[in-house]
Amino acid sequence: MNNFISKDMIIYLFNEVGLEESSIELGIKLSIKNKTPLPILLWSYGMLTIEELDKLYSFLFQIME
């Protein structure tokens, strides 16, 4: 499974969503440990709402074009 975590995603989570650095770090560690994509892991642990998850994926698809 590809666990893609980009600098742009981290910046977005910090600046746009407002997650604290410690929450992002915990999410990354759990994401790697559980082999789960970071956005899905953050949503499943209640750190992102479904709307924030949707906006994050829209942002990620936009920067990949």
Q: Which two tokens stand for residue 27?
A: 């999410």
Distance CA 43, CA 51 (A): 10
Q: Which two tokens stand for residue 36?
A: 């789960």
Residue 14 near residue 23 (C-beta atoms within 8 A): no
**What pLDDT score was predicted for residue 3?**
61
**pTM score, whole prediction:** 0.87
The residues spanned by each domain of the chain are 20-64
Residue 30 near residue 41 (C-beta atoms within 8 A): yes
pLDDT digit string, tens, across residues 9-59? 999 999 999 999 999 999 999 999 999 999 999 999 999 999 999 999 999
Q: Which residue in 30, 60, 63, 64 sits closest to 47, CA to CA?
A: 30
**What pLDDT score was predicted for residue 4?**
75
